[in-house]
Amino acid sequence: MKVAILSRNKNLYSTRRLKEAGEAMGHEVDIIDTLHCYMDITSTRSAVRYKGKELPKYDAIIPRIGASVTFYGTAVARQFEMMGTFNINESVAISRSRDKLRSLQLLSRKGLGLPRTGFANKPDNAKDLIKNVGGAPVVIKLLEGTQGIGVVLADTAKSAEAIIEAFMGLKANILVQEFIKEAGGADIRCLVIGGKVVAAMKRQGAEGEFRSNLHRGGSATVVKLSKEERDTAVKAAKAMGLNMCGVDLLRSQNGPMVMEVNSSPGLEGIEKATGKNV
């Protein structure tokens, strides 16, 4: 098959590994910088142009679209879809997963375990918002944040109110979530492909850090999942409409809770932790 990987950096571990694996299976694999694509939109024949030329017909695309270029990246992916190209993660599903609030609402509708979450527009709702998610400590998250950036743990109601008011004063959209203390600063990343969990790792936050992101100094080890955790990850991927994604779970006293669903999960951490060729 002729496959295109939509990625802004051909040297990234995940992009490189996907190209290597595809070519090892006999496919022709091109890496295309998403931001250098431009679209020819007509009622009779749609096309994607790249560096002054029309791109050839691809059988499939693998979008590796970063959060900072979601709008343009999904537009490019959608153009390929209009041309009849198979997309492993459809543009609408990527957009859905990038909106943290929409994601939580969709997961909630499917009855999946979630940390109790509040969302408001005005600072005068702050007190009730904190109380409604179970009181301090609470986690405050920027809707647009990635890799743990824009995630704050507020230990007291007073500090939570001050942080919420500060964010809202800057016109930032935030979520307020209950703090799952028993998770101990750890989460589980499940890699789901085609409705199956193919690999899983436990990410532990650095000393004194409640965020477990590897970008923030966290460590990763292989982990054995329970049937409930496996089922939750698969259902979360299905709720988002994603064929390939990373589902982040917290182990709580009420069972597994979905923290986030990532449509372009990194492959380096999970391959090194599990020793699997994902």
Determine the pLDDT at residue 217: 58
Looking at the structure, tell me whether residues 72 and 108 fall in a common domain.
no
Looking at the structure, tell me whether residues 126 and 216 fall in a common domain.
no
Looking at the structure, tell me whether residues 187 and 262 fall in a common domain.
yes
Average of per-residue pLDDT across 33-45: 90
Q: The domain containing residue 152 runs over which residues?
A: 117-179
C-alpha to C-alpha distances, 230 to 28, 88, 225, 227, 259, nearest whole angstrom: 33, 21, 6, 5, 14
Looking at the structure, tell me whether residues 229 and 187 fall in a common domain.
yes
Can you tell me the distance from the alpha carbon of 261 to that of 30, in angstroms, rounded to the nearest whole number?
27
Looking at the structure, tell me whether residues 75 and 122 fall in a common domain.
no
40-57, pLDDT tens digit by residue? Answer: 888 778 899 999 999 999
58-78, pLDDT tens digit by residue? Answer: 999 999 999 889 999 999 999
Looking at the structure, tell me whether residues 233 and 104 fall in a common domain.
yes
Mean pLDDT of the chain: 91
Residue 107 has pLDDT above 70, yes or no: yes
User: Closest by alpha carbon to 68, among 107, 41, 38, 34?
Assistant: 34
Average of per-residue pLDDT across 177-194: 93
Residue 215 has pLDDT above 70, yes or no: no
Looking at the structure, tell me whether residues 101 and 229 fall in a common domain.
yes
Q: What number of other Cβ atoms are within 10 A of residue 34's Cβ?
A: 21
Judged by DSSP in three states, 212 sits in coil
Q: What number of other Cβ atoms are within 10 A of residue 265's Cβ?
A: 20
Average of per-residue pLDDT across 24-28: 98
Percent of the chain with pLDDT over 70: 94
Q: What number of other Cβ atoms are within 10 A of residue 215's Cβ?
A: 12
Can you tell me the distance from the alpha carbon of 185 to that of 206, in angstroms, rounded to the nearest whole number?
8
Can you tell me the distance from the alpha carbon of 29 to that of 20, in angstroms, rounded to the nearest whole number?
9
Looking at the structure, tell me whether residues 148 and 124 fall in a common domain.
yes
Q: Tell me the pLDDT band of 214, cut-offs 50, 70 and 90.
A: low
The region, left, alpha or beta by phi > 0 then psi within -120 to 50, assigned to residue 147 is left
Looking at the structure, tell me whether residues 170 and 212 fall in a common domain.
no
Assign residue 207 the CATH number of its domain: 3.30.470.20
Judged by DSSP in three states, 142 sits in strand
The edge-to-edge listing of strands for the beta sheet with 28-32 is: 28-32, 2-6, 60-63, 86-87
Q: Does the reported pTM lie above 0.85?
A: yes
Looking at the structure, tell me whether residues 128 and 154 fall in a common domain.
yes
Looking at the structure, tell me whether residues 200 and 211 fall in a common domain.
yes
Determine the pLDDT at residue 138: 94
Average of per-residue pLDDT across 147-170: 87
Domain count, the chain: 3
Q: What is the Rg, in whole angstroms, of the alpha carbon atoms belonging to the chain?
A: 20
Looking at the structure, tell me whether residues 262 and 186 fall in a common domain.
yes
